[in-house]
């Protein structure tokens, strides 16, 4: 069996790993590159192998950096099945068409502003391409083996990262590989912890926080104190959040803080059509997370869902204290940009990020103290208070991941460290060698190993 690292190895986006047996090819994750332009350009390079030569795709979870290249793969000839959990499929039905819409808008904008070298810049994929890709999905329950090809079996186990997220254990002949996907936290307020792994010969392990610990602050306390300070100044607290995952956690924490009277009862808005759809799904799938039906109903009641563009524009005129959650989580696009334009220049307001900010994003610049940001071609001075409550991340830090691996019955012959910036990946390699005595390496992009 051969394994090729086609993406997500020197960065946290663009996850793509190709397994090859004598007869078949299976791709695990098929993500889009996001963040700095140099990375985004890789999306346009074309897939290194003809998509029609791939028999099957296995998807660990719905986040675009793991699923967002699927419409392109299908457009260019992939005809197999895309295997994932039920919730991952339902989330992809929301996320992929939205990603297609953004691609179409980018192409239109590039044409209008003449950014592109082409007279008629084409989108990477369209809403229609995304809808077409969804027809290839096939869903599987956790811990139930399935066969993506006639010589490979696979099994999903809960990864605790977002709704539907999974680690996948793949077997061929007498060899097994575990792909960790993105790994959640031991004590996430809304997601259950990742399940212990079964033994495997090889492990591909994510390393987003391979060189960092999450701060030990209590995220609830920190969030309460930041919101209280903002509201006391008469300001608005703006929380950029990933539409899938963190937006739902913030809604839960804010509801809890208001109910326990730790923060005032100001209106709470969720302004992102995608986050609203994801929240509906989340509230519906309560068997998959820690919140019960009553808690889900209370969150629904406590939140004003802003769906239409007109309501979004009206909310943007608001100057009275409020809490606004909007996507995207790294302020790279979406309705949060309009809120930033109108809120970031006033010292009374605050912008509270909730998780990993990839290099090159506005979110990263803001949490690192930039004094101005560029949005839609114009500069805005940053006068609002800016925070990142890093302890709200949906990724385990290296200590949490080591603790999870120690619970597992796993002693791999080799670990390949993926999904991390170069320093984080290398630090994770050292942690595995020093603390577990495991043989680990950080693969290079497009490299291949014989297993
Ligand atoms: Zn993820």
Average pLDDT score, the chain = 93
Predicted confidence (pLDDT) at residue 387 exceeds the cutoff of 80: yes
Per the CB < 8 A criterion, the answer to whether 264 and 231 are in contact is: yes
Question: Average of pLDDT values for 426-442?
Answer: 96
- Tell me, in angstroms, the distance from the centre of ligand 1 to residue 140's CA: 19
- Tell me, in angstroms, the distance from the centre of ligand 1 to residue 64's CA: 8
Per the CB < 8 A criterion, the answer to whether 161 and 147 are in contact is: no
- Tell me, in angstroms, the distance from the centre of ligand 1 to residue 162's CA: 7
Tokens encoding 385? 């208070």
Beta carbons within 8 Å of 129's beta carbon, 6+ residues apart? 71, 72, 74, 75, 100
Phi, psi of 179, rounded to the nearest 5 degrees = -100, 115
Q: What angle do CA 91, 15, 10 make, to 5 degrees?
A: 145
pLDDT of the residue at 116: 64
- Tell me, in angstroms, the distance from the centre of ligand 1 to residue 295's CA: 25
- Tell me, in angstroms, the distance from the centre of ligand 1 to residue 182's CA: 5
Q: CA-CA distance, 35 to 328, in Å (whole number)?
A: 12
Per the CB < 8 A criterion, the answer to whether 384 and 343 are in contact is: yes
- Tell me, in angstroms, the distance from the centre of ligand 1 to residue 212's CA: 17
37 falls in which pLDDT band (50, 70, 90)?
confident
Q: CA-CA distance, 19 to 46, in Å (whole number)?
A: 19
Q: Tens digits of per-residue pLDDT, 224-281? A: 999 999 999 999 999 999 888 889 999 999 999 999 999 999 999 999 999 999 999 9
Predicted confidence (pLDDT) at residue 332 exceeds the cutoff of 90: no
334 falls in which pLDDT band (50, 70, 90)?
confident
Question: Average of pLDDT values for 5-22?
Answer: 91
- Tell me, in angstroms, the distance from the centre of ligand 1 to residue 330's CA: 13
Beta carbons within 8 Å of 121's beta carbon, 6+ residues apart? 107, 110, 111, 115
Class for the domain spanning 219-392? alpha beta
- Tell me, in angstroms, the distance from the centre of ligand 1 to residue 184's CA: 9
- Tell me, in angstroms, the distance from the centre of ligand 1 to residue 431's CA: 22
- Tell me, in angstroms, the distance from the centre of ligand 1 to residue 329's CA: 12
Which residue reads 């986050």 in tokens? 275
Exposed / middle / buried, residue 94 (Cβ in 10 Å: 0-12, 13-18, 19+): buried
Predicted confidence (pLDDT) at residue 190 exceeds the cutoff of 80: yes
- Tell me, in angstroms, the distance from the centre of ligand 1 to residue 61's CA: 7
Which residues are registered as beta bridge partners of 325? 239, 270
Alpha helices in 244-383, H assignment, sequence order = 246-259, 273-284, 293-302, 309-317, 336-343, 362-367
Q: CA-CA distance, 318 to 235, in Å (whole number)?
A: 10
Torsion angle of the four alpha carbons 249, 65, 183, 95, in this order, in degrees rounded to the nearest 10: 40
Q: CA-CA distance, 276 to 352, in Å (whole number)?
A: 19
Beta carbons within 8 Å of 322's beta carbon, 6+ residues apart? 236, 237, 266, 267, 268, 269
Question: Average of pLDDT values for 419-426?
Answer: 93
Predicted confidence (pLDDT) at residue 144 exceeds the cutoff of 70: yes
Q: Give kind and range of the element (H or E) at residue 421.
A: none
Q: Tens digits of per-residue pLDDT, 82-120? A: 999 999 999 999 999 999 998 898 888 878 876 666 777
- Tell me, in angstroms, the distance from the centre of ligand 1 to residue 107's CA: 26
Rg of the chain on CA atoms, in Å: 21
- Tell me, in angstroms, the distance from the centre of ligand 1 to residue 429's CA: 20
- Tell me, in angstroms, the distance from the centre of ligand 1 to residue 161's CA: 7
- Tell me, in angstroms, the distance from the centre of ligand 1 to residue 23's CA: 31
- Tell me, in angstroms, the distance from the centre of ligand 1 to residue 409's CA: 24
Do you find a cis peptide bond into 207, omega within 30 degrees of 0? Answer: no
- Tell me, in angstroms, the distance from the centre of ligand 1 to residue 115's CA: 30
> In this structure, are strands 350-353 and 385-388 parallel, antiparallel, or unpaired?
parallel
Beta carbons within 8 Å of 243's beta carbon, 6+ residues apart? 95, 272, 274, 275, 278, 327, 328, 329, 334
- Tell me, in angstroms, the distance from the centre of ligand 1 to residue 187's CA: 17
Beta carbons within 8 Å of 359's beta carbon, 6+ residues apart? 35, 36, 421
pLDDT of the residue at 313: 95
Near ion ligand 1, which residues have CB within 5 Å?
63, 182
Per-domain boundaries in the chain: 2-212+394-450, 219-392
Per the CB < 8 A criterion, the answer to whether 209 and 424 are in contact is: yes
Lowest mean pLDDT among 52-56, 278-282, 380-384: 278-282
Q: At what angle do helices 246-259 and 219-232 cross, to 10 degrees?
A: 70
Per the CB < 8 A criterion, the answer to whether 334 and 328 are in contact is: yes
Predicted confidence (pLDDT) at residue 44 exceeds the cutoff of 90: no
Predicted confidence (pLDDT) at residue 153 exceeds the cutoff of 80: yes
Class for the domain spanning 2-212+394-450? alpha beta
- Tell me, in angstroms, the distance from the centre of ligand 1 to residue 191's CA: 13
- Closest of 166, 7, 204, 194 to residue 88, by C-alpha: 166
- Tell me, in angstroms, the distance from the centre of ligand 1 to residue 65's CA: 7
Residue 266: CB atoms within 10 Å: 17
Question: Average of pLDDT values for 285-309?
Answer: 92
Q: CA-CA distance, 352 to 343, in Å (whole number)?
A: 12
pLDDT of the residue at 217: 86
Q: What is the DSSP string of 116-167?
A: SSSSSPPPSS-HHHHHHHHTTEEE--TT--EEEETTEEEEEEE-SSSTT-EE
Q: CA-CA distance, 133 to 140, in Å (whole number)?
A: 17
Which residues are registered as beta bridge partners of 27? 18, 57
Question: Average of pLDDT values for 360-388?
Answer: 95
Predicted confidence (pLDDT) at residue 436 exceeds the cutoff of 80: yes
Tokens encoding 93? 């039905």
- Tell me, in angstroms, the distance from the centre of ligand 1 to residue 395's CA: 8
């Amino acid at each position: 069996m051969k394994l090729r690292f086609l993406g997500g190895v020197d960065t946290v986006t663009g996850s793509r790993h190709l397994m090859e047996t004598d007869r078949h090819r299976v791709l695990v994750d098929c993500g889009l590159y996001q963040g700095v332009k140099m990375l985004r350009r890789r999306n346009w390079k074309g897939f290194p192998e003809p998509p029609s030569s791939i028999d099957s795709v296995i998807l660990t979870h719905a986040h675009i950096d793991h699923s967002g290249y699927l419409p392109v793969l299908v457009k260019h000839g992939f005809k197999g099945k895309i295997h994932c959990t039920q919730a991952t499929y339902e989330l992809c039905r929301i996320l992929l068409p939205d990603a297609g819409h953004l691609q179409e808008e980018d192409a239109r904008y590039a044409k209008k502003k003449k950014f592109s070298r082409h007279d008629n810049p084409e989108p990477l994929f369209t809403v229609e391409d995304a809808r077409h890709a969804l027809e290839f999905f096939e869903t599987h329950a956790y811990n139930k083996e399935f066969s993506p090809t006639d010589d490979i079996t696979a099994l999903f186990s809960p990864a605790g990262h977002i709704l539907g997220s999974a680690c996948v254990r793949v077997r061929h002949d007498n060899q097994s590989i575990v792909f960790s996907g993105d790994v959640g936290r031991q004590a996430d307020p809304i997601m259950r912890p990742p399940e212990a792994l079964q033994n495997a010969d090889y492990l591909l392990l994510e390393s987003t926080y391979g060189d960092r610990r999450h701060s030990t602050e209590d995220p609830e306390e920190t969030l309460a104190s930041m919101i209280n300070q903002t509201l006391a100044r008469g300001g608005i607290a703006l929380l950029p959040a990933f539409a899938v995952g963190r937006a739902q956690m913030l809604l839960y924490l804010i509801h809890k803080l208001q109910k326990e009277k730790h923060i005032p009862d100001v209106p709470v808005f969720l302004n992102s059509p995608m986050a609203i759809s994801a929240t509906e799904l989340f509230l519906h799938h309560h068997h998959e997370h820690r919140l019960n039906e009553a808690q889900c109903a209370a969150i629904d009641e406590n939140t004003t869902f802003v769906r239409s563009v007109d309501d979004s524009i009206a909310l943007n005129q608001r100057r009275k204290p409020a809490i606004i959650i909007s996507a995207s989580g790294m302020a790279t696009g979406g309705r949060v940009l309009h809120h930033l334009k109108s809120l970031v220049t006033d010292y009374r307001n605050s912008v509270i990020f909730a998780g990993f900010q990839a290099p090159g994003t506005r979110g990263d610049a803001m949490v690192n103290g930039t004094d101005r940001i560029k949005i839609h071609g114009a500069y805005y001075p940053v006068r609002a208070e800016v925070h990142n409550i890093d302890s709200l991340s949906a990724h385990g830090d290296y200590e949490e991941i080591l603790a999870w691996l120690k619970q597992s019955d796993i002693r791999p012959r080799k670990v390949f460290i993926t999904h991390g910036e170069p320093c984080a990946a290398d630090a994770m390699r050292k942690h595995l060698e020093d603390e577990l005595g495991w043989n680990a390496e950080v693969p290079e992009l497009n490299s291949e190993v014989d297993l």
